[in-house]
Structure 1
Amino acid sequence: MNKEIKGVIPIAAAPFTENGYLDEDSFQQMIRHLLQAGIHGVTLFGMATEFYKLTDKERGRMLRLLLDETNNHPSVASMISVTDHTAENAISHAQQAERMGADSLMLLPPFFLQPSEHAITEHIRKVADSVDIPVIVQYAPLQTNVRIPPEVFLTLHEKVPNIQFIKVETQPPGRYITSLMDHSQGKLGALVGYAGVQMPDVLERRAVGIQPGCSFIELYVQLYQLFQSGEKKGFHTLFQKLLPYISYWMQGIELIIKAEKVILYKRGIIASDYCRSPQYTLDNIEMKMIDRFLEQFADELRNEGRL
């Protein structure tokens, strides 16, 4: 693999038609929009992809469409999330993604009915050991109630070296990242999701990348570039403008999924903001917030939609 896992790696949304069917045209246009926006990678089947609302056939089709785009891109890495609860199914999907040309995998540990730490770590080990591409373990204790100390991830890396990154979604994530860095002495890298709410802190703590949603990815790319170039004043000025919005939307997973889809729709990137039920319904005040957001960041978010 020669595509580096770093930088801004958005989670792709799952566009649907007004009738609730997968909208392949909108999905393809959205991916092409992201590839033109300066991202470093793109993740499919994260929570923001609503993987839990997709059929196996839809997942297969989305995987093919994404990899058709990223496999032809010289630098944008594909990251395919494997969310199966059983190791057998997870291994099958992991190996399929690798065969199709995925650059990396993100592995969500099993959490249904509270498996033991041994069962969880064995699942991670078996799935990661079944492929050769880099594996990112998604550590989201608030969503899964699975809690894993940093030293456990280091032990897993020593057993299976292609376990190379941890997506840290603790609240707050910063101190966990510091502990992870200290325990692994740089052997493990950290990525962070949660809409980048803690972006200033986690980048200072040596996180290698951010995995936000995809509806206003230009802002995250600009923020990352400002930070990497040492323009801290510009970074903090832009981040403080963005923070009130992402802080509000990240109060709930379904809330930010709906808000992101409305933004994608209003920008002309997807044809509908439809979400499959159960979903969050935005009220008038929340819709006005999105309009205000789009007006405030109009210069940064030049509409490139073609629908």
Structure 2
Amino acid sequence: MTVDIQTDASLLVRGVSPVLAVPFTESGEVDYGGFDRVVRYVLSTGVTSMMFPGFASEFHKLSEDERWHLTEILLSQTRNRPDVAAVIAVQDHATRLAAHRARAAVDAGADLINLLPPHFLSPSRRALVQHIEAVLESVAPVPVVLQYAPAETGTVLDADVLGQIQAKHPNLRLVKVESSPPGPLIAELAARTPPLLAVEGYAGVQLPDAVRRGAVGTQPGCSVTEVYVEIWRRLTSPDPVQVESGFDLHRRLLPYISYWMLDTERIIAAEKLISVRRGLFVSAYCREPAHRLDAEEIRMIERFLADFTDLLPHLG
């Protein structure tokens, strides 16, 4: 699919939009060559957008220099491609810093901004809205994805507040809904006039329900992008037989992701080991504090790779 990304890059954030992992060396340094391979691998799966940095990228464990160097590696592969959108995430708690980072990312070639509202010291609803609107204004008319992750942040927003923001700032184009379950909010947003479209995250645990309720995309981690692409293809097929096979494929995946998503550090560690076993990069190291996979969790990953060998070729 090709669109004028200067007009509406959010059209490219459809289907599967992976969040990129950051590989480290065994000594804890950023593996920039490994990250370059991550970007190329994700592009090879046929997706039309990808996001960086998110929770799956261990964004909170990166220095400013590391973060910008990694961002440049991503943008160097996307800024001249009209068929692919780079979604660059902003998680700063200070409004001034968030607006500055968002504008700098756009100036560097970002196609969209993903905004995680501030949550440190529990800002008021009014302060949250002011923060969101300031960032939207700083990058207008570039489209923005607002990330709503109440379990990780404690932030509380609702469809009415989000709709009011959209009415003032039409470059709020998507909401990434990571509430549990995401479906009710996705449906409320889709029913508004005009609709506010949503993508879901949280590793796709509730993906079939999200699709039924109007989600236009999913943003999982990137280690098994092919699996999510195939699930999405089937679930959104006009053929009921294909849709049912999409439910079946998701049911194969669910025992694994529902366990890994018991906490964020666990799924980061699991996805990194999967990436190493697939030959994507060398080390499964996670910067401390991190979850350490035990022997049974490692055996679980081995079972997962055996169960999905039909969709997950070795990448070495």
Instruction: Give the alignment's TM-score, normalised by structure 1.
Output: 0.97
d(CA) in 1 for partners of 2:251, 2:206: 11
Deviation at 1:74, TM superposition (A): 3.5
For 2:189, the equivalent position in structure 1 comes to 180
Partners of 2:260 and 2:266 in 1: CA distance: 6
Is 1:169 aligned to residue 178 of structure 2? yes
- Separation of aligned partners in 1, 2:113 and 2:210: 22
Q: Does 1:238 align with 2:280?
A: no
Deviates more, 1:272-281 or 1:295-304: 295-304
> Are the equivalent residues in 2 in contact too, given 1:199–1:210 (CA < 8 A)?
yes
Q: 2:57 aligns with which of 26, 49, 57?
A: 49
2:147 maps to amino acid: Q
Give the secondary structure class of the aligned counterpart of 2:83.
coil
Task: Report what 2:116 is aligned to.
Answer: 108
2:262 to 248, 251, 258: 251
What residue number does 2:311 align with? 300
Q: Structure 2 CA distance, aligned partners of 1:186 and 1:272?
A: 46
Tell whether 2:231 aligns with 1:217. Answer: no
Q: Percent identity?
A: 43
2:167 alignment counterpart: 158
Deviations 1:147-206 (A, max 9, x none): 011110111111111011111111111011111222x23431101100000000000111
Asked if the contact 2:198/2:216 (under 8 Å) is kept, the reply is yes
1:117-150 per-residue CA deviation (whole Å, 9 max, x = no partner) reads 0000000000111112100111111111110111
Q: SS at the partner of 1:122? A: helix
Asked if 1:90 is matched to 2:101, the reply is no
Q: Matches of 2:142 and 2:152 in 1, distance apart?
A: 26
Q: Is the 8 A contact 2:175 2:197 kept in 1?
A: yes
Q: Supply the AA of the counterpart residue of 2:112.
A: S
Q: How does 1:4-83 map to 2 (within 5 A)?
A: 4=11, 5-83=13-91
Does the 8 Å CA contact 2:276/2:283 hold for their aligned counterparts? yes
Asked whether the 8 Å contact 2:17–2:51 carries over to 1, the reply is yes
Aligned pair count reads: 304
Contact 1:165 1:189 in 2 (8 A): yes
1:268 aligned to 266, 279, 285, which one?
A: 279
Any idea what SS the aligned residue of 1:282 has? coil
> 2:239 aligned with 1:228, yes or no?
no
How far the C-alpha of 1:303 sits from its partner, in A, is 1.2
Hey, what's the Cα distance between the residues in 2 that align with 1:172 and 1:58? 34
The one-character-per-residue Cα deviations of 1:193-230 (angstroms, maximum 9, x if unpaired) are: 00000000000111010000000010000111112223
- Paired with 1:256 and 1:135, the residues of 2 have a C-alpha distance of 26
C-alpha distance in 2 between matches for 1:134 and 1:146: 22
Deviation for aligned residue 1:278:
0.3
Matches within 5 A, 1:194-205: 194-205=202-213
Quote how far apart the aligned CAs of 1:280 are: 0.2
Range with greater deviation from structure 2 (186-195 or 61-70): 186-195
| Maintained 8 Å contact 2:23/2:30 | yes
- Give the alignment's Cα RMSD to 1 decimal: 1.0
Q: Contact (CA 8 Å) 1:190, 1:207: kept in 2 or not?
A: yes
SS of the aligned residue for 1:39 comes to coil
In 1: Cα distance, 2:193 partner to 2:213 partner: 13
Partner of 1:110: helix, strand, or coil?
coil
Long gaps (5+) in structure 2: none
SS of 1:207's partner is coil
Amino acid at match of 1:253: T
> 2: distance between equivalents of 1:104 and 1:187?
19
Letter in 2 for 1:273: A
